[in-house]
Amino acid sequence: MEAGRVREISTSMIRRMFEIVEKAKREGRDIVSLTIGEPDFSTPKEVIERACRAMREGFTHYTSNLGIEELRSAIAEEYGVSKDEVMVTAGGSEALLNASLAFIEEGSKVVIPSPSFLSYFTYAKICGARVSEIRTHETGFVPNPEIFAEIMDRNVSVVFLNYPNNPTGAVIDRRSAEEIVKIAADYGAVVISDEIYDKIYYDKKPVSLVNHENVVAVNGFSKSLAMTGWRIGFVIAEETLLNSMLKIHQVNGVCAPAFAQKAVAEVMLSGEFKRLVSSMVSEFRKRRDFVYGELSKLYWTVKPEGAFYMFMDVRENCIKFAETLISYGVAVTPGTAFGSWNENFVRISYANSMENLRKAVERIKGYYDSKEAHGR
Q: Which residues make up the interface to ligand PLP (CB under 6 A)?
A: 37, 91-93, 117, 162, 166, 194, 196, 220, 222, 228, 233
User: Which CB, 234 or 321, lies closer to ligand PLP?
Assistant: 234
User: Which CB, 221 or 292, lies closer to ligand PLP?
Assistant: 221
**Contact indicator for 263, 47 with CB cutoff of 8 Å:** yes
User: Which CB, 73 or 119, lies closer to ligand PLP?
Assistant: 119
User: Which CB, 331 or 361, lies closer to ligand PLP?
Assistant: 331
User: Which CB, 90 or 181, lies closer to ligand PLP?
Assistant: 90
CB of 113 to ligand PLP, least distance (A): 12
CB of 331 to ligand PLP, least distance (A): 17
CB of 166 to ligand PLP, least distance (A): 4
Gap between the Cα atoms of 288 and 305, Å rounded:
9
CB of 37 to ligand PLP, least distance (A): 4
Q: Taking the CA of residue 243 as centre, how many other CA atoms within 13 Å lie in the half-sphere pointing to its CB?
A: 2
User: Which CB, 158 or 298, lies closer to ligand PLP?
Assistant: 158
CB of 230 to ligand PLP, least distance (A): 9
DSSP code string of 95-153: HHHHHHHHH--TT-EEEEEES--THHHHHHHHTT-EEEEEE-TTTTTS--HHHHHHH--
> Starting at the edge strand that comes first in sequence, how are the strands of the sheet with 215-220 ordered?
86-89, 233-236, 215-220, 190-194, 156-161, 109-114, 130-135
**Contact indicator for 71, 261 with CB cutoff of 8 Å:** yes
CB of 206 to ligand PLP, least distance (A): 12
Helix runs in 250-353, H state only: 258-269, 272-295, 318-327
